[in-house]
Amino acid sequence: MEKSGPKMRTDTKLVWAILLASCSSGAIVGRSEMQECVFYNMNWKRDGTNHSGVELCSGENEKRLHCFSTWKNRSGSIEMLKQGCWLDDVNCYDSNECVERKENPDVFFCCCEGNMCNGKIHYNPEAVQSTLKPVVVKPETFPTLLYSLLPISALALLLLLSFWMYRHLRLSYPPLLLASQECSLGSGSPLLAQKPIQLMECKARGRFGCVWRAQLLSQTVAVKIFPIQNKQSWQNEYEIYNVSGMKHENILHFIGAEKRGNGVDVELWLITAYHEKGSLTDFLKAHVLSWNELCVMAQTFVRGLAYLHEDIPNMKDGHKPAIAHRDIKSKNVLLKSDLTVCIADFGLALKFEAGRSAGDTHGQVGTRRYMAPEVLEGAISFQRDAFLRIDMYAAGLVLWELATRCTAVDGLVDEFCLPFEEEAGLHPSMEDMQDVVVHKKLRPAFREQWFKHTGMFLLCETMEDCWDQEAEARLSAGCVLERITSLQRSTSLLVSPHLLSNLTPPSKEFSL
Ligand SMILES: *[C@@H]1O[C@H](CO)[C@@H](O)[C@H](O)[C@H]1NC(C)=O
Ligand SMILES: *[C@@H]1O[C@H](CO)[C@@H](O)[C@H](O)[C@H]1NC(C)=O
């Protein structure tokens, strides 16, 4: 019962805020279009912003603008964290004073409407809550217990209802304010301090929950939210991003990890750069590629993978260990605005540090469709190179997906298909995949006209060398990168693919 107190309060508050907002939304006319807020950033040096000043707010049309402040209050001494503009948020509607109403939060937050309204902050824990506080039941005898069961179950029902409404409304009515939820990080925790983030829209549902487009002050970011059951995955991804040398243009840019909420409602957030174009799978479904675009995507994808796999002892910030991704697939490759790509989702990744075991590992993880034959058979050795070769198998399949949508060759381009969709359908079972990949030794089919284009021909050879049945025979990522770089270079010199027919066929090992 003790735990449910603050939770219900937040939920009821949210529900109230929404109800109030939907009643008052008719009265928004005549707002000024310009809004300025007091600006402050405690971490101005690190973030490269001004320390303090005035921020002119901008937002989408038809949306309201607000100001916010976040601060800490250590027994009366106020430490301001951040102040500035806040986007449209029902929780701030029609309040011209900036007031935190939550009781004793770790990080105080308030928002308000009106020029510079966040200049003054107020703390006014809600008095109304006393009526909603759960009854404290101390059953002395059996009858009292019996009588108290009724209010408890009523309360539980109410709680459930408000919880459901909160969940439900949160999905259908973003952006809701989540940034001010208490966060109780242990002291000395390597996690970042709570950032003022507004969730805007759920863009994709992954294995572990939702990826949101979100607003972090004036920056658009992606927030992946893991339910507490998937703590392991969140923790692993967070640790991988924090490995020395993980900053690379072809690896998704990591911003921070946070724990939000408390009690049963804890959520684990992972904040990264946001890429509007989404995953390679989504992009290929809707677009075809020119030969040049294919080369750029293939090259940057393999460059990211080669970097991930590489062990680099003398980085500026330490020793970068070799890392196996273990869930390479087109859905985990994100497209940047310039059509270069970056690799995402390190929930299953493993790092290999000399003298340390790779940790608690299970062999058979990842996505069935992209599992190498040895994984499907459950016959892998737990050696570094074995894991890297499993990635290379999957990389071959991703290259094939790129090839199927390329317009460089004559004839029609096929609709987008996942690898083995023709052979094993949309939802293959483990047995289906074993049958196709291990027993029949099938691989995605090449179209005949691909071989008429020198570049495509070379790319097909490279795919075959990636997905070889024998793991030891597969190319390394570094080697694939060299091949793709050189085939791009050689084909970019040629004007027309028709001139290629009398070129000598490429040898298996060609150098730069
Ligand atoms: C800092 O403040 C100055 C003047 O107030 C303004 O022109 C400038 O854009 C601000 N810079 C940033 C990074 O906000
Ligand atoms: C800070 O905390 C004290 C109690 O410790 C409270 O009286 C005061 O109103 C708080 N002020 C703000 C701005 O949070």
* Mode of pairing for the β-strands spanning 108-112 and 65-74: antiparallel
Q: What's the CATH code of the domain at 59?
A: 2.10.60.10
Residue nearest to atom 9 of ligand 2 (CA): 123
Please indicate, yes or no, if residue 110 is contained in any of the structural domains: yes
Q: In this structure, is residue 365 part of a structural domain?
A: yes
Q: Say if CB 325 and CB 305 are below 8 A apart.
A: yes
Q: With a 6 A CB cut-off, is 50 part of the ligand 1 pocket?
A: yes
Overall average pLDDT of the 352-365 stretch: 71
Domain boundary among 69, 100, 123: 123
Is pLDDT above 80 for 507?
Answer: no
Local structure of residue 294 (DSSP, 8 states): H
Cα 254-257-263 angle, rounded to 5 deg: 160
Percent of the chain with pLDDT over 90: 47
Q: Are residues 471 and 419 in the same domain?
A: yes
Residue 52 placed within a domain = yes
Does any domain span residue 310? yes
Render pLDDT for 4-59 as a digit per residue (tens, 0 to 9). 444 444 444 444 444 333 333 333 333 446 789 999 988 888 777 889 999 998 87
Rounded mean pLDDT, 476-488: 94
Q: Position 142: which residue type?
A: F
Identify residue 453 by its one-letter amino acid code.
Answer: H
Which value, to the nearest 10 degrees, does the dihedral of the CA atoms of residues 21, 22, 27, 28 take? 70
What rounded mean pLDDT belongs to the chain?
79
Please report the pLDDT score of residue 195 as a whole number. 67
Residue 401 lies in a domain: yes
- Run of H or E including 333: strand 333-335
Distance CA 454, CA 506 (A): 9
- The highest-confidence range among 154-158, 166-170, 184-188, 310-314, by mean pLDDT, is 310-314
Ligand 1: centre distance to CA 193 (Å): 24
- pLDDT (0 to 100) of residue 292: 93
Q: How confident is the model at residue 163 (pLDDT cuts 50, 70, 90)?
A: low
Tens-place pLDDT, residues 389-442:
999 999 999 999 999 999 988 778 889 999 999 999 999 999 999 999 999 999
pLDDT in tens, 401-411: 999 999 988 77
Q: Closest by alpha carbon to 201, among 223, 179, 217?
A: 223
Residue 311 appears among annotated catalytic residues: no
Q: How much distance in Å is there from the Cα of 71 to the middle of ligand 1? A: 22
Verify that 425 and 477 share a domain, yes or no.
Answer: yes
Owning domain of residue 259? 195-274
pLDDT value, residue 159: 60
Measured from the alpha carbon of residue 40, the closest ligand is 1
CA 388/CA 321 separation, integer angstroms: 13
Amino acid at 403: A
Probe target for ligand 2 pocket from 69, 72, 73, with the most ligand atoms within 8 Å of CB: 73
CA dist 273 and 221 (Å) reads 5
Q: How confident is the model at residue 287 (pLDDT cuts 50, 70, 90)?
A: very high
CATH of the domain at 223: 3.30.200.20
Element of type H or E holding 160: helix 142-172
Q: How many A from CA of 72 to the centre of ligand 2?
A: 9
User: Residue 80: is its pLDDT beyond 50?
Assistant: yes
- Looking at residue 180, what DSSP letter applies? T
Measure the CA–CA gap between 230 and 247, rounded to whole angstroms.
25
Q: Please give the structure tokens belonging to residue 485.
A: 């770089």
Q: Which residues contact 445 (CB under 8 A, 6 or more apart)?
A: 422
For residue 191 the two structure tokens come to 């996690």
Domain contains 228: yes
- The answer as to whether 40 is a domain residue is yes
Any atom of ligand 1 within 6 Å of the Cβ of 233: no
**Residues with a CB atom less than 6 Å from ligand 2:** 73, 75-76, 78, 108, 121, 123
Q: If DSSP states are collapsed to H, E and C, what string results for 99-157?
A: EECCCCCCCEEEEECCCCHHHCEEECCCCCHHHHCCCCCCCCCHHHHHHHHHHHHHHHH
Closest-CA residue, ligand 2 atom 12, reads: 123
Q: Is the CB of 41 under 6 A from ligand 1?
A: no
Based on DSSP, count helices (H) and strands (E) in the chain, helices before strands.
13, 18
Within this chain, do residues 449 and 352 fall inside the same structural domain, yes or no? Answer: yes
Q: Is 104 in the pocket of ligand 1 (CB under 6 A)?
A: no
DSSP assignment of 357-401: ---S--SS-S-GGG--HHHHTT----SHHHHHHHHHHHHHHHHHH
pLDDT bin (cut points 50, 70, 90) of residue 86 is confident
pLDDT above 70 (res 141): no
- Cβ–ligand 1 contact at 47 (below 6 Å): no
Domain end among 97, 123, 149: 123
CATH of residue 318: 1.10.510.10
Of 327, 345, 391, 468, the active-site residue reads 327
State which of 100, 123, 146 marks the end of a domain. Answer: 123
Please check whether residues 216 and 304 belong to one and the same domain.
Answer: no
- Stretch among 199-213, 270-284, 368-382 having the lowest mean pLDDT: 199-213
Amino acid at 490: S
Query: How close is the Cα of 92 to the center of ligand 2, in Å?
Result: 21
Secondary element (H or E) of residue 57: none
Cα(218) to centroid(ligand 1), Å: 14
Report phi then psi at 113, rounded to 5. -120, 135
DSSP symbol at 503: S
Q: Which of 59-63, 121-125, 129-133, 437-441 has the lowest mean pLDDT?
A: 129-133
Please check the confidence at residue 197 and state whether its pLDDT lies above 80: yes
Residue 252: pLDDT above 60? yes
**467 domain residue, yes or no:** yes
**Confidence (pLDDT) at 353:** 85
User: Do 374 and 282 belong together in one domain?
Assistant: yes
pLDDT confidence of residue 403: 96
Ligand 1 pocket, 263 CB below 6 A? no
Atom of ligand 1 nearest to the CA of 39: 14
At 136 the pLDDT is: 41
Dihedrals φ, ψ of 296, to 5°?
Answer: -65, -45
pLDDT above 70 as % of the chain:
73
User: Are 239 and 312 members of one domain?
Assistant: no
Q: Where is pLDDT greater, at 105 or 79?
A: 79
Q: Which two tokens stand for residue 484?
A: 């793709």
Number of domains in the chain: 3
**What is the tens place of the pLDDT at every residue in 97-120?**
999 888 887 788 898 999 999 999
Q: How confident is the model at residue 158 (pLDDT cuts 50, 70, 90)?
A: low
